[in-house]
Structure 1
């Protein structure tokens, strides 16, 4: 049994609208097509877009964390000081 939706699903737009190399918005993680067609999507399509956005955000955060770890691992742990 499907749950009845009482409220419209709001757009995830953050009003930044800047895209990355893959073509996804850096703020809301939607593709160009997803942004342009949001108002024509039904609720199930909007939920799917939101699910994809969450997945993209988690992937981006994971990749950024990996990059930070690589930078930290490349820094020498101690510098020898000769007094």
Structure 2
């Protein structure tokens, strides 16, 4: 039995509408089908999509932390004024 929802589930859209190499939106991490069918989903389905988006976001940020830094030199020489010499 599905729980009654008294409030609508807000869309996770943040207005950054471009997709990454896997097809997920860079702003909300939804797949194309999830974005296009959002209004047709039940509240339970919408909450499930939001849960999936959070998992995708965490996975993506963890992958970004694993990448080694290529250079330790400051991009802007002005940053040397505040850095360690």
Assess same fold via TM > 0.5: yes
Superposed CA deviations along residues 4-63 of structure 1, whole A, max 9, x for unmatched, are: 422100000011110000000001000000000000000111011001000000000101
Dislocated runs of 4+, deviation >6 Å = none
TM-score (norm 1): 0.77
SS state at 2:11 partner: coil
TM-score (norm 2): 0.75
Q: Which residue of 1 aligns with 2:82?
A: none
Gaps of 5+ in 2: 73-85
Gaps of 5+ in 1: 76-83
Matched, 1:10 2:10: yes
Q: Which structure has greater helix proportion?
A: 1
Q: Which residue of 2 aligns with 1:54?
A: 54
Cα separation, 2, equivalents of 1:3 and 1:37: 21
